[in-house]
Structure 1
Amino acid sequence: MQAEISTGKFIVIEGLEGAGKSSAMALVKAFITELVGQEPVCTREPGGTPLAEKIRTLVKTADATDPLCDEAECLLMYAARAQLVANVIKPALAGGDWVLGDRHNLSSLAYQGGGRGLMPLVQTISAATLGSFRPDLTLYLDIPPAIGMARAANRGELDRIEQQALSFFERARATYLSLAAADDSIVVIDANQPLPKVHEDILSALNQHLRV
């Protein structure tokens, strides 16, 4: 039965490389479509607008002649996010559409804040660009970094961020888990289970948080 919902919601899938975000996105997209009677607006970060996609290329591509410093990476992530929120996410929500995001602000808190050690900068920029705006529900797919990176490597060539040391992803994971423990809108899904069980847990979380 479709839920009678007059306003859109913003649902986000988070996780380290190799956690299974792509299959989770497809599953959640189908769930939302069944729930509200129409497909959600799907986004990815960084990216999601013409300008933000150009920023994505800058962030993901290594340049040995001009290495991207950590602070610049952080600023670029928020520039892309600000564009996406202003030009896609907020207008969609205002129009009553649901939005399903492949990553959002929690990624920057984990990767640039925890992984890069720039948490004060991340928190300052987050407050300046997003204010109180946040997802209604975030599903964090948790996986040990070594397992996730092995999966990512099997997909093909790694991008600049995926090539970071394992310790970087361990710090990011610790930050994800710490933030999730303090926020009821973030649900941790054990992504190191057989895929059917992962999907079962995702659907259980969606039913618990979104069914009316």
Structure 2
Amino acid sequence: MTCGTFITFEGIDGSGKSTQARLLADHLRNAGRDVVLTREPGGSAGAEEIRSLVLQGDPDRWSAETEILLFTAARRDHLEKTIQPAVEAGQIVICDRFADSTRLYQGITRGDLRGVVDQLHSLMIGREPDLTVIIDMDPTTGLSRAKGREGTEERFEDFGIALQQRMRAGFLALAQEFPDRCVVIDGDRDIDAVAADVAALVEKRLA
């Protein structure tokens, strides 16, 4: 049985990573590949319930420590129910956010908890993506885009520009920490241009 591929998209809020994940899924499906497009938090029934808890409400609703536990619980259910079965079936799984977001949002930008995140990840998740595409975006532009969506899941956007600036620096640092799986793509361009670069990158990796 051929093992599949696990690809994640990361970036600050409003970076366009969700759009790029969808466009990549469309591109690969049009090329005849079997693709599962999913997201975090969420991607399974149990994880979607947790999503509503962590992305809605006041910014100070949960401590960073509580969020780490909630996100890890959601990720475990997502892994069991969606990601792992699809990869084992030979499919390409494309996920909008994964553990790198928790490493930054809860592990670095809201306290010195990176070690806690990594310990829980090792204990309960135990795998990294095969490829992580980081969509890099100016934090001011990204936050403006994110707030313009006018949705109900704006709890992290409500922390303001300072958090987004720390997040951007954190994602760029992660790309240096994990150079074998993380690739940074300039998101401050036309959507189609970004999508073309992402598709070329992924096709090269799959080959």
What is the TM-score when the length of structure 1 is the normalising length? 0.89
8 Å CA contact 1:110, 1:173 repeated in 2: no
1:49 corresponds to which of 44, 50, 53: 44
Is the counterpart of residue 144 in structure 1 residue 138 in structure 2? yes
Cα-to-partner distance string for 1:168-212 (whole Å, 9 max, x where unaligned): 1222211111111132211101101222321222122123222x2
8 Å CA contact 2:9, 2:18 repeated in 1: no
Secondary structure of 1:84's aligned partner: helix
The aligned amino acid for 1:166 is I
Aligned residue pair count: 204
1:102 is aligned to 96
8 Å CA contact 1:82, 1:129 repeated in 2: yes
1:27-176 equivalence runs, <5 A: 27-35=23-31, 37-63=32-58, 67-117=61-111, 118-131=113-126, 133-157=127-151, 159-176=154-171
Q: Hey, what's the Cα distance between the residues in 1 that align with 2:90 and 2:201?
A: 22
The aligned amino acid for 1:197 is A
1:126 Cα deviation after fit: 1.2
Identity of aligned residues (%): 37
1:9 corresponds to which of 2, 5, 9: 5
RMSD: 1.9
Q: Hey, what's the Cα distance between the residues in 2 that align with 1:100 and 1:120?
A: 26
8 Å CA contact 2:147, 2:154 repeated in 1: no
Extract unaligned runs of 5+ from structure 2. none
Q: Hey, what's the Cα distance between the residues in 1 that align with 2:120 and 2:162?
A: 25
Q: Hey, what's the Cα distance between the residues in 1 that align with 2:79 and 2:195?
A: 28
The aligned amino acid for 2:16 is G
1:182 is aligned to 177
Secondary structure of 2:62's aligned partner: coil
1:22 Cα deviation after fit: 2.7
Extract unaligned runs of 5+ from structure 1. none
8 Å CA contact 1:13, 1:103 repeated in 2: yes
What is the TM-score when the length of structure 2 is the normalising length? 0.91
Q: Which runs of 4+ in 1 moved over 3 A?
A: none
Secondary structure of 1:123's aligned partner: helix
Cα-to-partner distance string for 1:118-156 (whole Å, 9 max, x where unaligned): 21211111111122x111111110112111000111111
1:165 Cα deviation after fit: 2.5
Change over 3 Å in CA distance of 1:70–1:182 after alignment to 2: closer
Range with bigger deviation, 66-75 or 44-53 = 66-75
1:7 Cα deviation after fit: 2.0
